[in-house]
Amino acid sequence: SLRMRKVKPSQWLENTLESIPTGFFKGERLESYLHDLFAEHGISDRFDEVETNLFIGATDHDTFDHVTLGKAPFDNIPISAAVRASCSIPPLFTPKAIGDRYYIDGQVTKSCNLESVVEDGACLVFVIDPMKPLRVNTAGNSDIKGGYFSVLQMIKGLVSTRFETNFRAVSEQYPDVDFMVFQPDEECARMMSGSPLKPRIRPQMIEVAFQNTLRRLRERHKVYSAKTVRYGFDLKSVEELRKLEGNYHKIIKPID
């Protein structure tokens, strides 16, 4: 007959915690999709074979050292593998094995690799920062929406505040470098506050982001045009930007 082994509650809890996977999704389809997409357009899937410098941040899952994929000694790996590693956020996606090490999202250890591009010679840097938490004045809003929402908000809050601190430090360290930062407005942040994987909201998010970016360019036109003209190109006029904002469906191909 079968007999139940006596297991101490503490040991049972330890065994249970160890049985939880590091990720529920492997992300292999994302990696293969990118590889096939590059091949379809005749683009190499290797850092050392592309003409433009490309840097992708990642974190060693065991040492928690920040690494820059695309820079030596990480310049001889597939770009699709690097993107897959950078998208790994346990416990959603499993760590990505590259060589004999495992890597996860670079934002775990550094919000933005501003220093990497500046040290590589960039003088005008465009920063797209989507990790902005939804800010509301209603007390208990996050608690009502549940644990998943709260976890996402917490992650975005940590990344956002750390980015702001790092950005100020880098701006002071490199006063001759111009930065143009684009972040979601409140409407975008609200749409992105839940799961971005919902197919029905993706087209809406793209349209709102498109219009928000053009609106920001209009509102800060003097500041942005003064920066861009230093590097030999002119920003479209306020009126031209307004026309583009209203022609979204003529410019962006509908998503099937």
User: Per residue in 82-110, pLDDT tens?
Assistant: 999 998 887 778 899 999 999 999 988 88
Indicate the pLDDT class of residue 26, thresholds 50, 70 and 90.
Answer: confident
Q: Look at the alpha carbons of 159, 112, 81, 73 in this order and tell me if their dihedral is positive or negative.
A: negative
Q: How confident is the model at residue 129 (pLDDT cuts 50, 70, 90)?
A: confident
Q: Which residue has the higher pLDDT, 47 or 194?
A: 47
Q: What is the pLDDT of residue 131?
A: 80
190 vs 54, more confident: 54
In this prediction, residues 14-29 reach a mean pLDDT of: 70
Residue 194, pLDDT score? 63
CA 170 → CA 47, 67, 167, 183, distances in Å? 26, 18, 5, 18
More confident of the two residues 165 and 203: 165
| 61 pLDDT tier (thresholds 50, 70, 90) | very high
- Residue 229 in 3-state DSSP? helix
What's the pLDDT tens digit per position in 135-191?
Answer: 777 787 777 777 777 777 888 888 888 889 989 999 999 999 999 999 888 877 777
Give yes or no for a contact between 86 and 58, defined as CB atoms under 8 angstroms apart.
yes
More confidently predicted of 254 and 240:
240
What is the rounded distance in angstroms from the CA atom of residue 167 to the CA atom of residue 161? Answer: 10
Q: How many CB atoms lie within 10 A of CB 59?
A: 23
Contact 134, 184 (CB under 8 A): no
Answer whether 0.85 is exceeded by the pTM.
Answer: no
- CA end-to-end span of the chain: 59
Within 8 A by CB and 6+ apart from 103, the residues are 58, 59, 60, 61, 67, 69, 85, 86, 88, 95, 96, 97
Range of lowest pLDDT (71-85, 132-146, 211-225): 132-146
Q: Sort strands 124-128 and 101-105 into parallel, antiparallel or unpaired.
A: unpaired
The yes-or-no verdict on residue 2 having pLDDT over 50 is no
d(CA 50, CA 255): 28
